[in-house]
Amino acid sequence: MTLTLTVSDDVRALAPGFTHVAIEAHGLVNGPSSEASAALLDDAARRLAVRLDGRAPHEDPHMAAWREAYTAFGSKPSRTRNSAEALARRALSEAGLPRINLLVDLYNAVSVAHLIPVGGEDADRIEGGMRLTRATGEEDFVTVVGGEETFEHPDAGEVVWRDDAGVTCRRWNWRQGPRTRLTERTTSGIFLLESLAPMPVAEVTEAAAELAELLAKFSPGADIAVRAPEPSG
- Each domain of the chain, given as residue ranges in start order, spans 5-231
Mean pLDDT of 130-149: 91
Q: pLDDT band at residue 139, thresholds of 50, 70 and 90?
A: very high
**The predicted structure's pLDDT at residue 144:** 82
Mean pLDDT of 98-104: 97
Q: pLDDT band at residue 230, thresholds of 50, 70 and 90?
A: confident
Mean pLDDT of 203-231: 95
Mean pLDDT across the chain: 95
Architecture of domain 5-231: 3-Layer(bba) Sandwich (3.50)
Strand ranges (E), the chain: 5-7, 19-26, 118-122, 130-134, 141-145, 148-152, 159-163, 166-170, 175-176, 188-195, 223-226, 230-231
Query: Beta strands 148-152 and 118-122: pairing type?
Result: unpaired
**The predicted structure's pLDDT at residue 231:** 67
User: What pTM value is reported for the model?
Assistant: 0.96
Single-letter amino acid, residue 216 = A
Mean pLDDT of 176-181: 95
Cβ contact 78:183 at 8 Å = no
Any idea which of 23-37, 55-69, 203-217, 219-233 has the lowest mean pLDDT?
219-233
| Residue 232 pLDDT greater than 80, yes or no | no
| Residue 228 pLDDT greater than 90, yes or no | no
| Residue 156 pLDDT greater than 80, yes or no | yes
**The predicted structure's pLDDT at residue 147:** 79
Mean pLDDT of 141-148: 84
Q: pLDDT band at residue 145, thresholds of 50, 70 and 90?
A: confident
Single-letter amino acid, residue 171 = R
Cis peptide before 198 (omega within 30 of 0): yes
Mean pLDDT of 62-84: 96
**The predicted structure's pLDDT at residue 1:** 62
